[in-house]
Amino acid sequence: MNNNTVFEFDSGNPGPSILIFGGIHGNEHCGVKAIKMFMKNLNSGRFTLLNGKVTFAFGNIPALEQNVRFIDKDMNRIFVDDNFDEFKGSSEYERVSFLKTLFEGKDAFLDLHSAKSPCLDFLISEEESLILASELSASFIVTGWKNFSEVAGDTENYALSKGLKALTYEAGQHDDMISVENSYSMILKFLSAHGIINYTFVKREAKVLNLKTLYLKTHKSDSIAPKIENFTFVKKDELLIDGDRQVRAPFDCYLVFPCDPNGIKIGETICFLAELI
């Protein structure tokens, strides 16, 4: 099962040990494609590992083959140790059991994802990895996910719990070629920041956004008043949710992962609000 889905490269020199995943969600192929591109360039000698080691792994193999997010369980919600066995019997259980073993002895972790709708690339980072994130020239860095239980069980927080520095990268829209390019360049930047390869890039300061709150769909009539696009800026007191109830922005904020309330059920998340820090 792990043939051709886990790849380890060792420079032969001391240095950090890096772990990079692509395709934890099976409809997000950009990470897998970018990893393949990088390995091709490594094998052809275009890049040489200078220090340390890097391990690449593909995530949800059956879901990748079927181009679906997951088969039985969202893989990015079941990277847990406590009560992990409750996922036994799902298509994802054995694979996640194995992938969890790869974190052992590693120093830093990067997980490559993409999104349903077009959006600028961004890094997700908790406080302990913010300095690393700020070195990687993403457009945005979104922090503060830890405060939301809705998004627990993800690879990044699993890595953090094992003492690694860890980042999730959202590269753009699933099928956009730019997402593959973004993922590829994030691999290079991530490895370069750890001294694994030699790669120079333009340093750009990212906007750092701290997630403060989220809104659930509570009424059938709920609609989002501003443009439904990631990182749309909304001024304090501007109309945010319209319909039978009206909600105004509690502070100057950016929308994160907003979605059309028409397409979701009561109780599901309409959007997160983040504050610029």
Helices (H), 28-176: 30-43, 61-66, 93-101, 130-134, 155-161
Q: Extract the tokens encoding 234.
A: 């909304």
- Tell the smallest beta-carbon distance from residue 11 to Zn ion (Å): 30
Phi, psi dihedral angles at 189 (to 5 degrees): -65, -40
Which residue, 27 or 223, has its beta carbon nearer to Zn ion?
Answer: 27
Q: Extract the tokens encoding 98.
A: 């194995």
Which residue, 17 or 125, has its beta carbon nearer to Zn ion?
Answer: 125
- Tell the smallest beta-carbon distance from residue 32 to Zn ion (Å): 12
Residue closest to Zn ion when measured from CB atoms: 113
* Residue 2, CB-side half-sphere exposure with 13 Å CA sphere: 14
- 150, 214 Cβ separation under 8 angstroms: yes
Which residue, 47 or 87, has its beta carbon nearer to Zn ion?
Answer: 87
Which residue, 25 or 165, has its beta carbon nearer to Zn ion?
Answer: 25
Which residue, 29 or 53, has its beta carbon nearer to Zn ion?
Answer: 29
Rounded Cα distance between 181 and 184, Å, is 5
Amino acid found at 122: F
Which residue, 171 or 241, has its beta carbon nearer to Zn ion?
Answer: 171
Q: Extract the tokens encoding 124.
A: 């997700």
The alpha carbon of 66 is separated from its chain's Cα centroid by a whole number of angstroms, namely 21
- Tell the smallest beta-carbon distance from residue 24 to Zn ion (Å): 6
- Tell the smallest beta-carbon distance from residue 76 to Zn ion (Å): 6
- Tell the smallest beta-carbon distance from residue 239 to Zn ion (Å): 30
Which residue, 28 or 126, has its beta carbon nearer to Zn ion?
Answer: 28
Which residue, 169 or 254, has its beta carbon nearer to Zn ion?
Answer: 169
Give the C-alpha distances (Å, rounded to integers) separating 145 from 15, 23, 110, 149, 247: 30, 21, 16, 8, 22
Rounded Cα distance between 120 and 141, Å, is 11
Give the footprint of Zn ion on this chain (CB under 5 A): 25, 28, 113
- Tell the smallest beta-carbon distance from residue 27 to Zn ion (Å): 8
- Tell the smallest beta-carbon distance from residue 51 to Zn ion (Å): 30
- Tell the smallest beta-carbon distance from residue 31 to Zn ion (Å): 9
Residues 6+ apart with CB under 8 A from 36: none
Give the C-alpha distances (Å, rounded to integers) separating 186 from 214, 254, 255: 28, 24, 24
Rounded Cα distance between 255 and 5, Å, is 35
